[in-house]
């Protein structure tokens, strides 16, 4: 009967609200829709997706009622309801299988050598087929489920902190993988995000590397072959390099590769990072603010034309991957054009994400310190973390109120190590910011209480504050960039 093929207005509005909610950015601030679906105020969590399981009983009830009416496949719905029901069935399949997808991600993350359990993939494909999805299309949805779970893993779990600045960061990272609308992303942009570069800005130690990894590990990876395997594992999708650690002579060869005989020591052909990063990969260029103008020109060419030429070759090669770059130089510095090409900046800055400082995070949510300490300790000492936590928090409470954490999360990691070893943490930089740290260093130097290493480290830090790049510090001191950086960050 034709009327059977329509959703009731009530079902239609429930499903519309459901899909608008679950296809939006899960780190969004719109709790209102979720509360309406839950029938009560939605509790606050790191991500709204934490609550999607709670929507399942109401969804199951409605789908069961439709089944009773003989409606359980897409082609049994009228055309105007099919788009909506497609999204509903996809969400239903996803909620039933995401834990199995998580199992695969955990397996890959731990680098286990045993074969991963992939038996859920044919099950899921069968379920989608039963809903009436075409087999080719179903493979794409399974790949999208894998992608969504990787994104949750790296955006939600790997980045600790519930403060508003961290929520904003997560929202931006999610958008850089999926845009603001997951539905149009899946239709139009899935597998086509390679030309969307991202520039991460933030002080040293804020976690730009983790943010870059979250973007890099959240890209589209198709399902391939009759054995239903994903084309790449997690480890293969993200290639990171710190440009300030590559000497000027090596940087081009590292990035673009070289041909045999291109220079003394080039005894073989060598693939650079751009060649190794394929269309499923992301190349992370850390400390982009430190590269020389000639290298910037070459990188600009890769961004514009998506080609690069290995040293000693005349044959351009195509770059298939995506670029994420990061710098701890400020936006003003980059835009002022001193040492940084404007056209390069504009080509990189299509998507700028600012990674918040630890002091911004703690100003918004002081409890974030405890959460971070627990996570960092867990990484450092495993199960012993619980026993150490209280003592560490007590030692940290000795710090002045509003201590500014100039070295951000990296400094906090260092503080934890020092507290474990010495029972207390005395910051190298005094509270009050860089000026008082500089004052303290000058006073100590005048008092003759610094050894040679402290003298050099302090001098490098002063220069870095003034000049802004490791390269400039290296030029003035006659050290190489890597050594200068080591002195600056200790």
Ligand X SMILES: Nc1ncnc2c1ncn2[C@@H]1O[C@H](COP(=O)(O)OP(=O)(O)OP(=O)(O)O)[C@@H](O)[C@H]1O
- The CA–CA distances, whole Å, from 362 to 206, 344, 369 equal 13, 34, 7
Choice between 311 and 380, CB closer to ligand X: 380
Choice between 158 and 262, CB closer to ligand X: 158
The one among 329, 410, 461, 487 contacting ligand X by CB under 6 A: 410
For residues 394 and 363, give the distance between their C-alpha atoms in angstroms, rounded to a whole number.
Answer: 19
Region of 2-10, 186-194, 247-255, 409-417 interacting with ligand X (CB under 6 A):
409-417
Please tell me the count of residues contacting ligand X according to CB under 6 A: 17
Q: Quick check: 205 binds ligand X (CB under 6 A)?
A: yes
Choice between 17 and 158, CB closer to ligand X: 158
Choice between 224 and 235, CB closer to ligand X: 235
CB of 417 to ligand X, least distance (A): 12
The one among 48, 138, 197, 206 contacting ligand X by CB under 6 A: 206
* Beta-carbon count within 10 A of 348 CB: 25
CB of 340 to ligand X, least distance (A): 16
Per the DSSP assignment, residues forming a β-bridge with 322 are 282
Pair of tokens at residue 319: 């770059």
CB of 209 to ligand X, least distance (A): 3
The one among 7, 85, 120, 161 contacting ligand X by CB under 6 A: 161
Region of 67-75, 251-259, 306-314, 407-415 interacting with ligand X (CB under 6 A):
407-415
Closest CA to 323 of 233, 240, 242: 240
> Which residue, judged by CB position, is nearest to ligand X in the bound state?
207
Choice between 211 and 275, CB closer to ligand X: 211
Per the DSSP assignment, residues forming a β-bridge with 324 are 198, 284
Applying the rule CB under 6 A, the residues between 318 and 337 that interact with ligand X are: 328
Choice between 86 and 208, CB closer to ligand X: 208
The one among 179, 210, 313, 389 contacting ligand X by CB under 6 A: 210
Region of 53-61, 170-178, 198-206, 317-325 interacting with ligand X (CB under 6 A):
198-206
The one among 18, 24, 46, 160 contacting ligand X by CB under 6 A: 160
Write each residue from 259 to 298 as x if it is in contact with ligand X (CB under 6 A), else as -, in one continuous string. ---------------------------x------------
Choice between 92 and 208, CB closer to ligand X: 208
User: Residues 434, 384: contact at Cβ < 8 Å?
Assistant: no
For Cα atoms 51, 56, 57, give the angle at the middle one, nearest 5 degrees. Answer: 120
Region of 11-19, 55-63, 158-166, 170-178 interacting with ligand X (CB under 6 A):
158-166
Write each residue from 373 to 402 as x if it is in contact with ligand X (CB under 6 A), else as -, in one continuous string. --x---------------------------
The one among 26, 165, 207, 321 contacting ligand X by CB under 6 A: 207
The one among 202, 257, 281, 321 contacting ligand X by CB under 6 A: 202
Write each residue from 30 to 59 as x if it is in contact with ligand X (CB under 6 A), else as -, in one continuous string. ------------------------------
Choice between 101 and 326, CB closer to ligand X: 326
Binding site for ligand X (CB under 6 A): 159-161, 202, 204-210, 286, 328, 375, 409-410, 413
């Amino acid at each position: 009967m034709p009327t059977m093929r329509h959703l009731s207005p009530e079902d239609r509005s429930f499903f519309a609200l459901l899909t608008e909610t679950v296809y939006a950015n899960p780190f969004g601030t719109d709790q209102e829709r979720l509360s309406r679906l839950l029938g009560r105020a939605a509790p606050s969590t790191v991500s709204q997706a934490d609550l999607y399981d709670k929507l399942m009983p109401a969804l199951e009830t409605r789908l069961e009622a439709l089944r009773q009416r003989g409606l359980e496949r897409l082609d049994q719905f009228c055309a105007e309801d099919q788009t909506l029901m497609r999204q509903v069935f996809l969400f239903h399949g996803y909620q039933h299988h995401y834990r199995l997808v998580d199992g695969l991600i955990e397996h890959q993350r731990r680098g286990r050598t045993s074969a991963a359990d992939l038996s859920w993939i044919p099950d899921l494909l069968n379920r989608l087929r039963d809903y009436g999805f075409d087999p080719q299309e179903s493979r794409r949805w399974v790949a999208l489920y894998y992608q969504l779970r990787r994104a949750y893993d790296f955006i939600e779990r790997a980045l600790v902190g519930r403060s508003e600045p961290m929520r904003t960061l997560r929202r931006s990272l999610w958008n850089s993988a999926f845009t603001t609308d997951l539905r149009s992303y899946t239709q139009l942009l899935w597998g086509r995000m390679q030309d969307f570069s991202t520039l991460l800005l933030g002080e040293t130690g804020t976690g730009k590397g983790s943010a870059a990894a979250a973007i890099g590990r959240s890209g589209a990876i198709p399902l391939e072959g009759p054995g239903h395997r994903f084309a790449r594992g997690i480890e293969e999708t993200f290639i990171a390099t710190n440009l300030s650690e590559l000497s000027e002579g090596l940087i081009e060869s590292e990035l673009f590769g070289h041909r045999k005989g291109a220079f003394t020591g080039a005894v073989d052909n060598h693939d650079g990072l751009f060649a190794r990063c394929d269309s499923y990969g992301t190349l992370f260029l850390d400390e982009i603010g430190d590269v020389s103008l000639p290298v910037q020109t070459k990188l600009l060419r890769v961004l514009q034309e998506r080609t690069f030429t290995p040293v000693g070759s005349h044959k351009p090669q195509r770059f298939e991957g995506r670029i994420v770059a990061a710098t701890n130089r400020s936006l003003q510095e980059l835009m002022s054009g001193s040492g940084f090409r404007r056209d390069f900046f504009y080509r990189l800055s299509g998507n700028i994400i600012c990674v918040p400082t630890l002091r911004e995070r703690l100003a918004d949510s002081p409890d974030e310190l405890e959460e971070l300490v627990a996570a960092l300790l867990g990484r450092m000492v495993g199960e012993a973390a619980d026993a150490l936590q209280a003592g560490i928090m007590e030692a940290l409470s000795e710090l002045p109120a509003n201590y500014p954490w100039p070295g951000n999360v990296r400094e906090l990691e260092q503080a934890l190590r020092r507290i474990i070893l010495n029972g207390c943490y005395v910051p190298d930089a005094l509270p009050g910011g860089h000026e008082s740290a500089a004052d303290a260093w000058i006073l100590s130097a005048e008092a003759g209480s610094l050894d040679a290493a402290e003298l050099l480290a302090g001098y490098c830090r002063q220069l870095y504050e003034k000049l802004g790049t490791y390269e400039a510090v290296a030029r003035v001191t006659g050290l190489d960039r890597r050594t200068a950086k080591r002195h600056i960050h200790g």
